[in-house]
A and B are shown apart, each in its own frame.
Chain A
Amino acid sequence: MLRFNLVNLLILTIFISPLIIGLLSYLMKARITSRLLLSEAGFLIANLFGLLLLGEHEITTALRFMGEVVTFSLQPKPVLLTISVLIVFAIQIWRLQSKKPLVGYFKFIILNIGISFGFLAFISGQFMIRYIALDVVGLMAALTVIDWGRGKQSFKDFVTIFLILRLGDLSLLVSILLINSFSGTLDITRMIDSVSRMPASSQAIAILGFLLAILIKIGGWPFGYWVHRARQSAKDAAFWLAGFLMPALGYYLLYRVIPIIMLRPAYQILVIIVGIIGLVNCIVVDGFGLVMFDRFKYVGVITGSILLCTTAMFGSQSIILFMVGLMIYRLLVYLNEEKRLAVPGFINLAFPLVFNGLFWIINPDVFSIRTAFLWILLTGLWIFGDWIISRRKGKKPIFGGESRMFELLPEESSDVLAKGAGWLNQHIEKGLSSLAFSGSLLVGTARWVNRNIEIGLFSTGISRLAGFFVKFARWNTEKIEKRLEEAWTWIGKELLSLSKGTLSIVEVEASQKTDELVGDALQSLESYEQKVLKKRMRWDLVWIPLLLIGILIFMLVI
């Protein structure tokens, strides 16, 4: 078990206290007010700061999971990320400024389980324990949308979110098990180190598995749909699990697999391409007014894409700080959308500029001309992408596969920068529209991407896929199962008729024949007996056995 010292005590406190608080609040029927949640968050943040001050620690426990030692790896960076996510939680609650109970007991317990296991996922040194923790947080994040009052609709949301997150978990499991099979360990650091020695095909599968898992967890393109669903169903405090904790865990997973991404330029390019596709998709789709989801979902996609590109370009250099910054940005957007914080429009636009500029200032060594150019391009795309989404302020997002063209009126823009950007956009769009070929191509592409990828494949696609499964399963029942059934019935019938035939020919007829034969034999015996009985007794023949007995005695004596 864990040896008792301050680090272990703090770890145990942070892991167990949310569970205890959740349980006690239910048992004592406490009101789940913002004060309670803020106190809890404050307590956890204080403990985490304590851990941060204690520095790096590798803790080997006496616990074993399926034969592997359970370890914890305490590093300042993940602790910092955990603190930032909890601060986001605290700010989110603080801005609610509500004295009413925020969530019911069910969601409060879920929230606390999520916090405990989220912490476990951050500090676990063993991949399978991290996987379990991520899976549990995923389940909790999906459960936050359950609303008993909404019945089946909320359950449908739950199923959608849970299935998407589970797909991410399974793809993560593919990577973990593949590497584990090669390295023979579940220790994260040693596993990551061993990837360089794996065959290229296995490496590729592992990186694809990780990438899929990361994209799903951070709500990146094209999997941001689940965040949107969670946002619609889970309100306020409960949404923190899906909107902030889960993406933060995805960020951290990305941080851990950076050495794998940096193994080959091909992997870096792959990650950058995935990031840019997500970014461009947001801009193209939104630029042509085919927006369906809330801004937070798109910001999730944009920040996720930026993070992927940054990671693939610069590796682990200051990346945790970058992640913390992205969390703050997400929070600003969320609070703005929820009308809990009036964020001036220019801040949204200035933030990427300042933020990316700071990153450059902090890490000047990692920039080459090529990366600097790409960095400026990414910053521009970020600003542009967020700007065109934020123009829809006050308009309700459209959902359900509808498309909508927004009229881009300069009056809608609330500040100079936005006005300027609006003007630019209007003119660029006009310019683009005037070019019949490229305009129609772009619009067509955007629509195609929107209809087929965004809506078709990853939003309604999920339900269509489920529908397909059901249809396929029904077809299977009709065509295969039933025919197999018929085949078996046919075999059964044939077997029965064969048995009947066999019974008739081999058993019944043979038995009758035997009966007849036995009867005949008995009859002939009887008639023979009768004949013998009619004859006179020949006493002279008695000498034969007597003589034989005499010979026998003689032989025995001799």
Chain B
Amino acid sequence: MDIFQILLPGITLIPVIGVVILLIWRGAKKVQAAEVGIASEGLAFIIALVLLWALRKNGEVVFTLSWIPNMAISFRLTLNWLSITFLLTELLVTLAAMIYSLGEKTGEKMSNFYYALLLLFSLGMSGTTLAEDAFVFYIFWELMLLASVLLILIWGHGKNRDKVALKYFIITHLGSLMVLVCLITLYVNVGSANISTWVVKAQSLSPNMQAFLILFFIIGFSVKMAIFPLHIWLPDAHTVAPMPVTIILAAAMLSMGTYGILRFPYALFSLESIMPFAIWMMIAGLISEVYGSLMALAENDIKRIIAYSSVSQMGYILFGLGTLTLRGMQGSIMHVVYHAIVKALLFMVVGIIIKLTNERNIKNIGGLAGKYKVLCVCAAIGALGISGMPPLGIFNSEWMIFAGGFDSGISVVLTVLTLIGSLLTVVYALRFFGMVFLGNIKTKTLSEKAPRALLIPTVAVSAFLIFEGLVPGPLLSWAMKGLAIIFGGDL
């Protein structure tokens, strides 16, 4: 076992240590709890960066620990070029959200529990990304859900938070159960929980069984992606959750659905088996893209506007996955990352606006540009970013998704519609920006300055968005290598 193999479980172990410290340290103040949380998450992030270097050398890092030998279950983690993209995104988003939390009121009571749950939420996502054993995968998958539900339930806004949390739990859990059915079916048929073994043996299953598994996997993961009409949990959950949790939900957790689709149906079955579902994925993606944009356009609650924009953006990703082409899927993976950055930025901006104005109705906000110039610039970057304006990142991923649509030869019309439909994104993004920042100031009480604790991470994310857009090379190469793991030379 080399040093990298020892380091790999550190990504899951360090947050666990952080959680234990926080649970023991009951009297911890918010800053102290945040320090423990940020340090744990930061260390996990550093380890992931170190392992990136190992990936360049070895191509894969594997850690295995025997767990339940009688049932062929082991604690197996694998880091490869596909998982690294998702892992770094989740860790970075959680880290940014934890730092952003410092400027928020959320978590001032029961700070240790709050940061412990944030760590568990992140741990759930990291574990899901790294798991190479179906049993371990599902445990982490559920941990992610439980932690987020508790965060909404305890620290959510409004009286309805319990109902929203329950709704979020039930609907996303329905998706999880569909995934579970697939996992159990595969486990029973293959006789092992090792996903690597599944990759070898899954294609020998009967065509009907394969079709059933692909369908259930795609629907199950689409719930997590909040694809129309399975998105119904998202607007409420995003609105009620405290802002740092919303950031993690929108920017990181939604990507888990994409990862799931790539990790299971795409990695396990042949392209021929998936082909019958491709056009339906593209159609669902297109509907979600347009529907989400229209809803964002109709909404007046600034938090819900950005929430619905996630439904729209996930539509692009599903469309790209549905193309079954190298560029389409590369674009989808890149879109996950870019969307995470833009969405984190936009929610951070929204958080600051709510903090400054104490208002969420867009009609009651206006004219902030004159008073908060830095915030205005960040919001403009976010609005242009989500609109796919070059050289900001989303442009790179969007055109690859569209190119994938043309490459696929499935339907030129669908691709043209998706491309032209992206104009709606520009409309709602500009409406959001214009109504909030231009015109006359409508709010009676406005804070003098935007809080620095909130503004600094927002500016950092804006800068990162520009950087990612200008230097897309590494991300493109990771996505390419990640897809090579799944498809080999098939694409």
Contact = CB atoms under 8 A, between A and B. Distances in A.
A66 B476 contact: yes
B438 interface: yes
A177 B434 contact: no
B153 interface: no
Given A66-B396, A205-B412, A476-B291, A163 B297 contact: no
A477 to B, nearest CB: 5
Interface in B394-449: 395-396, 399-400, 402-403, 406-407, 412, 415-416, 419-420, 422-424, 426-427, 430-431, 434, 438-440
Interface in A159-185: 159, 162-163, 166-167, 170-171, 173-174, 177-178, 180-181
A56 interface: no
A174 B419 contact: yes
B434 A472 contact: no
B276 interface: no
Nearest to A138: B389
A558 B144 CA distance: 64
B438 A173 contact: no
A476 B298 contact: yes
A470 interface: yes
Contact of B473 (A64, A177, A181): A64
Given A136-B390, A173-B402, A155 B434 contact: yes
Contact of B390 (A132, A472, A481, A488): A132
B419 A170 contact: yes
A170 B476 contact: no
A472 B391 CA distance: 32
B27 interface: no
Interface in B147-170: 166-167, 170
B438 A155 contact: yes
Contact of A492 (B170, B369, B403, B423): B170
B412 A202 contact: yes
Given A136-B390, A173-B419, A177-B402, A163 B426 contact: yes
Contacts of B423: 163, 166-167, 170
Which of A131, A152, A171, A495 is the most central at the interface, judged by chain B CB atoms within 10 Å of its CB?
Answer: A152
A159 B390 contact: no
Nearest to B231: A484
Interface in B8-47: none
B172 to A, nearest CB: 12
Chain B interface main SS type: helix
A159 B295 contact: no
Which of A158, A162, A173, A202 is the most central at the interface, judged by chain B CB atoms within 10 Å of its CB?
Answer: A173
Nearest to A478: B298
Nearest to A64: B473
Contacts, number: 107
A152 B403 contact: no
Interface string A179-216: 01100000000000000000001100100000000000
A177 B406 contact: yes
A509 interface: no
B229 to A, nearest CB: 6
A116 to B, nearest CB: 13
Interface in A321-336: none
Interface in A99-133: 128, 131-132
B436 to A, nearest CB: 11
Contacts of A163: 423, 426-427, 430
A470 B298 contact: yes
Nearest to A179: B406
A485 interface: yes
Given A166-B423, A473-B297, A135 B389 contact: yes
B457 interface: no
Which of the four size classes fits the interface of chain B?
Answer: 35 or more
Nearest to B367: A151
Nearest to A209: B416
A155 B268 CA distance: 50
A180 B407 CA distance: 9
A177 B418 CA distance: 13
A422 B299 CA distance: 55
A180 B325 CA distance: 14
A148 interface: yes
A508 B330 CA distance: 52
Which of B166, B387, B426 is the most central at the interface, judged by chain A CB atoms within 10 Å of its CB?
Answer: B426
Contacts of B297: 469-470, 473
A476 B403 CA distance: 30
A420 to B, nearest CB: 48
Contacts of A174: 402, 416, 419-420
A44 B395 CA distance: 30
Given A135-B389, A135-B390, A476-B295, A128 B439 contact: no
A224 to B, nearest CB: 20
Contacts of A136: 390-391
B175 to A, nearest CB: 14
Contacts of B412: 178, 201-202, 205
Interface in A251-285: none
A66 B472 contact: yes
A484 B233 CA distance: 11
B232 interface: yes
B434 A205 contact: no
A474 interface: yes
A488 B232 contact: yes
B420 A484 contact: no
B190 interface: no
Given A173-B399, A476-B295, A488-B232, A139 B419 contact: no
A180 B403 contact: yes
Interface of A: 64, 66-67, 128, 131-132, 135-136, 139, 148, 151-152, 155-156, 158-159, 162-163, 166-167, 170-171, 173-174, 177-178, 180-181, 201-202, 205, 466, 469-470, 472-474, 476-477, 481, 484-485, 488, 492, 495
Cβ-closest 6 pairs across A and B = A473-B298, A181-B406, A473-B294, A132-B390, A152-B439, A155-B434
Interface of B: 166-167, 170-171, 229, 232, 291, 294-295, 297-299, 367, 369-370, 384, 387, 389-391, 395-396, 399-400, 402-403, 406-407, 412, 415-416, 419-420, 422-424, 426-427, 430-431, 434, 438-440, 472-473, 476
Given A66-B476, A170-B420, A473-B295, 14 more contacts: A128-B399, A151-B438, A151-B440, A152-B439, A162-B430, A167-B423, A174-B419, A177-B402, A178-B412, A469-B294, A472-B294, A473-B298, A476-B298, A492-B167
22 contacts: A66-B400, A67-B476, A128-B399, A148-B369, A152-B439, A159-B427, A163-B426, A170-B419, A171-B420, A173-B399, A177-B419, A178-B412, A181-B407, A205-B416, A469-B294, A470-B298, A473-B297, A473-B298, A477-B295, A481-B295, A488-B171, A492-B166
